[in-house]
Structure 1
């Protein structure tokens, strides 16, 4: 698998594929390859026995079934006594190998990460689209237990491919119209079962990337009085995707259908292809709450992390009461034309350095 992945990485690097309009994914491909090659890397699949024997897999399956049923009852599509259950033994048998259930690829924060976001479950802030109730489970793959003391950060573009809190060429029309809002951005703490819950939308598409959500996992951060966090470490930087056939149905609905930007399919996205390597699956499992996409969605995904790892993603802006403000000396400033990470090419001599269980590619 490693040899195949390195071959794939070489091909992708040679093509200079774009990440966002005007950028490319060379730096991100190298980061993912380093993660796959790390000798201490463990996936969620390797924790299957422990998670099943501890009862966690069964407990999470029952909880997720109950949550989907709760959403259906609240929306008027089911009655409380009509819950439909799947055999937990079947779920335990397939755990870690079934599509859309595990994720541990290290990816990129991208040029539109805004630090200082609020702790909140509902990220909509007036945005329209395929409303999605998303449950993210965080698993410590070094000890095969749920992570109960982390903050999960989540963000993505809106249904027409625009990120809030930033202004950049290629982000919508490049105007400052979205910089004053923090829609579709926020954090949640993991509970006793390792779960963080959000309400967001299926992200739209923009030139150069398949539809995706971003996530960062924070450990040891301090909760501030203004409902944000400070300090701690970051163990994981990742991206979630949507199954292509289902995404095609979402894209037919408004306001997605009004987006005139060229769409990149999953199979055409370099980071999606790298994310599928090493036994990982970065695709969310999604269920309809009602009869149509417009009735709402329930999505789940599990993330495997090493809490001792230390990643160093770089924000372009910081969220303030006045909107997104530039972070001094951010390597993403000026994206996609003049930033430090623009047009990145792999270093010729420098090699990765091991930082508490993870490899960070130097550039």
Structure 2
């Protein structure tokens, strides 16, 4: 039987934090802690030297510099200078910032069967963000060039599409008919998957965050979705609090009436920063203000041999989001398997931990 640390047990038994109204995040806390404690855990920070010596860091710095200049030229801001690639390379060598590794949680609103597409806006408004997700194999310190990267997040007013639930923003059922802010992209020759999305809005109990899942060995289907393969990574990434405050002051974020949780008060954000990780995206203004658009990057460390088993609540179809039978997230936040109206007992937590450890091995 896996034994929980006294510190973790205290967090689980005393925490009143919720993932959505009516739920709690004990299940997610256990998963993250088990990953941090896993004896074979490696992060991108362990690959700093190899990535620098192989030239990957330099190539990424040059590519990011060029892309930012391209975005600025397209938006009419070519007079603004991007940071020098040599400076960006030097900073990476000093500290592998903007890195994220498993394990976090898929949360109650993952919808499987999403489309392969780079622009996932589908009409949503907000702080338009050109996001590069760089996937690195921490077992050999090389970019992962044959994965599918999945991305989803809430819209500017804190609502997830493809689902209908009481805890999903205002609980409106209209969101189930759209797949806005959801999609997948293949990692390219340098391990980078590119998206156009928005900075996610906040909702009750959680700070603003995006979700990602990394798929390996999946088959591309004629309907522009994927099937099969394995999942090595389930994670979330975040926005620096001061900058987030500036985003929240813009429209339509400033129309969101839900209670806001800051990064410092979000247990999953705090745990994501442990173990040498930095789950905060590096964000640069394309123009002179947020409304001009943003360019963001984050490096994600994965072990392609790992097999995570996230569970979706719905599957995307031409008719919208369709509930998956017996999903442990069905009925969130009141009646699902992972809802938990109270913190688990220590025995419950240890049983959960043992099951999660089997998933990580």
Same fold (TM over 0.5): yes
Partners of 1:228 and 1:265 in 2: how far apart? 35
| Structure 2 partner of 1:69 | 69
Residue 159 (structure 2) pairs with residue 188 (structure 1): no
Q: 1:8 to 1:231 in 2, by over 3 A?
A: same
8 Å contact kept, 2:49–2:93 = no
Partners of 1:8 and 1:211 in 2: how far apart? 26
User: TM-score under structure 1 normalisation?
Assistant: 0.93
Partners of 1:128 and 1:303 in 2: how far apart? 27
Match of 1:270 among 267, 271, 274: 267
Match of 2:327 among 308, 327, 330: 330
SS of residue matched to 2:175:
coil
Residue 19 (structure 2) pairs with residue 22 (structure 1): no
Partners of 2:96 and 2:159 in 1: how far apart? 28
Partners of 2:350 and 2:281 in 1: how far apart? 37
SS of residue matched to 1:179:
helix
Deviations 1:299-335 (A, max 9, x none): 0000000000000000000000000000111000111
1:21 offset after TM fit, Å? 1.4
1:86 offset after TM fit, Å? 1.6
Q: 1:97 to 1:18 in 2, by over 3 A?
A: farther
Q: Which runs of 5+ in 2 are unaligned?
A: none
Residue 336 (structure 2) pairs with residue 339 (structure 1): yes
Partners of 1:84 and 1:261 in 2: how far apart? 36
Partners of 1:349 and 1:56 in 2: how far apart? 41
Partners of 2:96 and 2:25 in 1: how far apart? 25
1:87 offset after TM fit, Å? 5.0
Residue 164 (structure 2) pairs with residue 167 (structure 1): yes
1:160 offset after TM fit, Å? 0.2
Measured on the aligned residues, the alpha-carbon RMSD in Å equals 1.8
| Structure 2 partner of 1:102 | 99
| Structure 2 partner of 1:211 | 208
| Structure 1 partner of 2:288 | 291
8 Å contact kept, 2:125–2:252 = yes
| Structure 2 partner of 1:256 | 253
Moved more, 127-136 or 93-102: 93-102
